[in-house]
């Protein structure tokens, strides 16, 4: 299911003294099955875009098409429930949205809200719980008796139980330690592949964008500054620095090695494994000279 954003603009508190332009001239085509990362400094418009994808915010100008559903500025939207079923959003600290008496009820809430029978909702809750790596034994427990990491997985299971076609992730690893962050990001990536989802990730982690995304969009002051594959985007080191964005640690190390040894690697290293292979290539090349 393709997503098309045309001439999107969003203003907060329109016609008030506090009116503020948050997005303008945003044009973006996201092909079905793409894993897209959106990066940018705080206030660049990343999260504002995400909230348009399932109608939490309405455009003040422009159009969003999600499959056959269209959200257009100035028009009354009649299909938002269908859009929200297609697009699942995992916000920062999703565990703060838990509210039901039991894990099963919390995960079942979304499917029930979309008209699924109680029996089917319970089946979906079990499937989603297993998918996020939690045991069925906790279904009848209060979510507030669980650890912080388990609570976050239960909240994610609640989104997955609605079986979205598009999974939107707004800084989903906020507050997690490195081990927890890797586990959650690997979980989302596996879901992306297994379910053939379109995944849209907003992140401050340059490493996560490099490792998981097919494409990266760079936001700056409310509009798109750059778009390309991770290798294309991270090759533009000076532009990223001017925008106040950091580089993945592997690329920082690559630049240091290239400068110190006066060599040039064949490509930008997005992972440690790629870095090791390129160092081996440089060493072999020098040995033959």
pLDDT tens-place string over residues 164-193: 999 999 999 988 889 999 999 999 999 999
83 is written with which tokens?
A: 């859009």
Q: Is the pLDDT of residue 289 over 60?
A: no
In the numeric block, the tokens 């992972």 are attached to: 271
pLDDT tens-place string over residues 139-150: 999 999 999 899
Q: How confident is the model at residue 63, as a pLDDT?
A: 96
The pLDDT confidence band at residue 265, using thresholds 50, 70 and 90, is: confident
Contacts of 176 (CB under 8 A, 6+ apart): 149, 152, 184
82 contacts 165 by C-beta, under 8 angstroms: no
pLDDT tens-place string over residues 75-134: 887 778 889 999 999 988 889 989 999 999 999 999 999 999 999 999 999 999 999 999
* pTM of the full structure: 0.91
38 is written with which tokens?
A: 């959106």
Q: Helix-strand-coil percent breakdown of the chain, rounded to 5?
A: 45, 20, 35
Q: How confident is the model at residue 185, as a pLDDT?
A: 95
Q: How confident is the model at residue 1, as a pLDDT?
A: 83
What would the DSSP string read from start to end of 137-198? Answer: GGTTS-GGGS-HHHHHHHHHHHHHTT--SEEEEESTTTT--HHHHHHHHHHHHHHHHHTT-E
pLDDT tens-place string over residues 212-257: 999 999 999 999 999 999 999 999 989 998 998 988 998 998 889 8
258 contacts 282 by C-beta, under 8 angstroms: no
List Cα–Cα distances, 43 to 173, 221, 280, in angstroms.
19, 7, 41
């Amino acid at each position: 299911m393709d997503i098309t954003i045309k001439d999107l603009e969003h203003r907060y508190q329109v016609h008030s003294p506090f009116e503020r332009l948050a997005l303008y001239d945003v044009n973006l085509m996201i092909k079905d099955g793409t894993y897209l990362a959106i990066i940018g400094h705080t206030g660049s418009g990343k999260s504002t875009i995400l909230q348009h994808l399932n109608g939490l915010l309405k455009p003040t100008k422009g159009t969003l098409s999600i499959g056959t559903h269209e959200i257009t500025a100035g028009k009354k939207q009649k299909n938002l429930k269908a859009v929200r079923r297609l697009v699942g959003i995992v916000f920062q600290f999703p565990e703060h949205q838990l509210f039901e008496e039991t894990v099963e009820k919390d995960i079942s809430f979304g499917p029930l809200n979309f008209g699924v029978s109680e029996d089917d909702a319970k089946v979906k809750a079990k499937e989603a719980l297993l998918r996020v790596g939690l045991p069925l034994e906790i279904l009848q427990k209060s979510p507030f008796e669980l650890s912080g990491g388990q609570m976050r997985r239960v909240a994610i299971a609640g989104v997955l139980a609605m079986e979205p076609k598009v999974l939107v992730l707004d800084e989903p690893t906020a507050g997690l330690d490195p081990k927890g962050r890797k586990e959650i990001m690997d979980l989302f990536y596996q879901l992306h592949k297994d379910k053939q989802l379109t995944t849209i990730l907003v992140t401050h982690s340059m490493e996560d964008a490099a490792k998981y995304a097919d494409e990266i969009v760079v936001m700056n002051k409310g509009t798109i500054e750059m778009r390309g594959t991770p290798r294309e985007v991270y090759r533009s080191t000076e532009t990223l620095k001017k925008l106040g964005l950091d580089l993945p640690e592997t690329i920082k190390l690559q630049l240091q090695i290239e400068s110190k040894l006066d060599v040039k690697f064949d490509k930008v290293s997005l992972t440690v494994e790629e870095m090791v292979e390129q160092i081996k290539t440089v060493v072999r090349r020098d040995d033959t000279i």
